[in-house]
Chains A and B, each alone.
Chain A
Amino acid sequence: MLRVENLNVHYGGIHALRGITLDVEEGKIISLIGANGAGKSTTLRTIMGLEKPSKGKIIYNGKEITGKQTKEIVKSNLVLVPEGRRVFTNLSVIENLILGSYIRNDAKEIQKDLDWVFELFPILKSRQEQKAGTMSGGEQQMLAVGRALMTKPKLLMMDEPSLGLAPLIVKNIIEIIKKINQEGVTILLIEQNAKASLEISDYAYVLETGEVFMEGKGMDLLNNEEVKKAYLGT
């Protein structure tokens, strides 16, 4: 579904990605794990067209999307829930969700998706009119995911959805990721909580200093000694 080939990104003088290659198969949950600065976020941001690659290719559904404008990429049903939630705090919950459907014109389908988002996150329904900035971190994360779902993604990318959230809410978010996946949305996930993400992942990539250091099935990596030592703290 998504193939990233030999992706290189430079930030000024820094060589942030040094030839990342990865594959995302339709219907699966794929994880990127790795330390801070390993290039996980940069990889997702480059896929979304927020960063320009200096070399390499991004192919989505058979079409090359390298260097395309973000709005074109969103229109091809690929979306990113950015790190730190980034909901529009000055807008109400419902307005945030409506903006998720900004690029769409299918009013009926939009309503259906809105109902689905409310079903996944009942809290959002009861807080529709509330300003997003007044909600808790966990609620804002749900809104950020809901807003992304409103673009009707086939591939949903999430950057650290559990960052800074209480353990109980993290569990909740992980459950919801699984649920969204079961509805047929492919997931590409960055998680600092490597254990939780490997447990639900079909496949995972371990990034280190801008390169793929290791890859494999989620369960295999979970039992890998090196991964255990470096990322699982056991």
Chain B
Amino acid sequence: MDLELFLQQLANAISLGSLYALLAIGYTMVYGILRLINFAHGDIFMFGTYMAFYMMTSFMLPWGAAFIIAIILTIAFGVLVEKAAYKPLRNSPRMSIMISAIGASFLIENLAIVVFGGRPKSLPVPDLFNRIIHIGNVSVVSITFITPIITMVALAILMFIVNKTKTGMAMRAVSKDYEAARLMGIDVNFIITFTFAIGSALAAIGGIMWGLKYPSLLPLMGVMPGLKCFIAAVIGGIGDIRGAVIGGFILGLIEIMLIAVFPELTGYRDAFAFVLLIVILLVKPTGIMGKNIAEKV
């Protein structure tokens, strides 16, 4: 592989990695607060992409407005999923909520087939995202650069919210101890809703960028990215936001580079993520950032 091809693939890897990171954060945040794997997260991502599609085609909105409305609708959808599928089970055994998450996922996927149609839809890609940029002999589509930039901005905002605001502190407190948080007057249900809202917003951003890069929309398009990003969250150490970002980038990087170096393995692209999951679970089940802190009691 020559240097140019390598750089091109590196750009692709970073771009894919940042998409994975955006989605992985949603898994990790919900897990951090509810100890629940939100199996419907990939479908929320799919929903965001479709919303952008309908805003641009049926409502003929300019892309900026279409994307913002799509993000808002996806937030509402994510919150709705939480209220309908998880909140009624707040005091139930964790297994019940997990089953409910799987059920929600199937329900959304099949509703999407009915409502959106099973045939692929094509997201119109605005010129800005579709330009070919030439740097030396390397040529890359502009979305490849835009994706990591938007991801970084989203991450910076997220880190600010989580680390610097009172609501962010409350989120971290709730993830540690529900009851102690309630005793501080924190509205735990609000914090959970807020967490789903953030996760859904990131999923929508990821979904739209995914659609701009791979503009073929399908009702089941969220399944594989969803599973992979869950893996990314586990690799990074589930519950840890930085871990999810690192896991996303690692997964994107390895996936792209593997195909670049061994093109004959392209067919195993998706399988590879699961191999990585198995390896991580064997070697370091808590993930990269996961720590077995010895806490004094």
Contact = CB atoms under 8 A, between A and B. Distances in A.
A154 to B, nearest CB: 14
Given A133-B293, A133-B295, A135-B296, A70 B183 contact: yes
B296 A99 contact: no
Contact of B296 (A88, A100, A140): A140
A82 B183 contact: yes
B185 A88 contact: no
Contacts of A88: 172-173, 176-177, 180-181
A61 interface: no
Interface in A82-106: 82, 84, 86-91, 95, 98-100, 102-103
Contacts, number: 74
Contacts of B182: 50, 70-71
B172 A91 contact: yes
Place the interface of chain A in its size category: 20 to 34
B184 interface: yes
A102 B186 contact: yes
A74 B185 contact: yes
Nearest to B163: A95
B156 to A, nearest CB: 20
Interface string B142-185: 00000000000000000000000010011011011101111111
A89 B181 CA distance: 12
Interface of A: 48, 50, 70-71, 74-75, 79-80, 82, 84, 86-91, 95, 98-100, 102-103, 133-137, 140, 147-148, 151
Interface of B: 166, 169-170, 172-173, 175-177, 179-187, 293, 295-297
9 contacts: A48-B183, A74-B183, A79-B183, A82-B183, A89-B295, A102-B184, A133-B293, A137-B297, A151-B185
Given A50-B182, A71-B187, A99-B186, 16 more contacts: A48-B183, A70-B185, A75-B185, A82-B180, A86-B179, A88-B172, A88-B176, A88-B177, A91-B169, A99-B173, A102-B185, A133-B293, A134-B296, A140-B296, A147-B184, A148-B183
